[in-house]
Amino acid sequence: MLNITFSPFPNLETERLQLRRVANEDVNEIFALRSDKETMKYIPRPLVKTKEDALEHIALIDSKIENNEGINWAITLKNDSKLIGLIGHYRIKPEHYRAEIGYMLLPKYQGKGIITEAIKEVVKYGFEKMKLHSIEAVIDPENLISEKVLLKNGFVKEAHLKENECFEGRFLDTVIYSVLNKH
């Protein structure tokens, strides 16, 4: 079974991006991300309504890191430490050498290849450092932009689950994409 530790916190970097730990100072950006109907359109979680909710979300991210249950990075541009998005490994299943990747980006930064660049680095970290065998992404079947990004990063469609999640009284389908560590 995997023995995963996120201590010390692993900062990552790509050509254009710094991936760093989320901090309480990111509260306004976390609020902007998680309270925006458009950004949260395909994420079946309640919208944050207050700055306190956003701080609670940051505390949740921290506790997952402290307990080695999951890791989230703030996506920032190299020349600016302001959080523009989130990316991370969730629902880590050490016994199966598998984790779920998730990501979101503020609307004004979308369509610039930022998520593609961040995914490449986070997948590499998952395979090389965490020693994962597979990484999955669970998305809404209508989230065609996310599907395109995943396919571009070598993920393949694994399953389409019918009405397997209930959110706010509605049953939602989910689609699972995954990528295997071929090394």
**Domain residue spans in the chain?**
12-133
| Separation in Å, CA 160 to CA 102, 114, 123 | 17, 26, 22
The partner residues of 174 in beta bridges, in order of sequence, read 161
Distance CA 167, CA 45 (A): 8
What confidence score (pLDDT) does residue 182 get?
A: 86
**pLDDT digits over 50-62, tens only?**
999 999 999 999 9
Q: Is 84 helix (H, G, I), strand (E, B) or coil?
A: strand
Q: Are 12 and 121 in contact (CB under 8 A)?
A: yes
What confidence score (pLDDT) does residue 2 get?
A: 87
Q: Are 120 and 108 in contact (CB under 8 A)?
A: no
Per mean pLDDT, which range of 42-46, 112-116, 131-135, 154-158 is the poorest?
42-46
Distance CA 124, CA 82 (A): 24
Q: Is the pLDDT of residue 111 over 80?
A: yes
Phi, psi of 163 (to 5 degrees): 45, 45
Distance CA 56, CA 41 (A): 21
Q: Is the pLDDT of residue 125 over 90?
A: yes
Mean pLDDT of the chain: 96
Q: Are 33 and 107 in contact (CB under 8 A)?
A: no
- CATH fold of 12-133: Aminopeptidase (3.40.630)
Q: Is the pLDDT of residue 122 over 90?
A: yes
Q: Which helix (H) or strand (E) element contains residue 176?
A: strand 170-180
Per mean pLDDT, which range of 1-10, 86-95, 144-153 is the poorest?
1-10
Long-range contacts of 108-117 (CB under 8 A, 24+ apart): 109/84, 109/85, 110/145, 114/16, 114/17, 114/75, 114/84, 114/85, 115/85, 115/87, 115/149, 116/149, 116/152, 116/153, 117/14, 117/15, 117/16, 117/17
What confidence score (pLDDT) does residue 80 get?
A: 95
DSSP conformation letters of 32-72: HHHH-TTTTTT--SPPP-SHHHHHHHHHHHHHHHHTTS-EE
Q: Is the pLDDT of residue 166 over 90?
A: yes
Q: What is the mean pLDDT of residues 32-56?
A: 93
Token reading at 63: 């506790």
Local confidence band at 15 (pLDDT 50, 70, 90 cut-offs)? very high
Q: What is the mean pLDDT of residues 20-33?
A: 97
What confidence score (pLDDT) does residue 81 get?
A: 94
What confidence score (pLDDT) does residue 164 get?
A: 95
Q: Is the pLDDT of residue 3 over 90?
A: no
Q: What is the mean pLDDT of residues 38-64?
A: 94
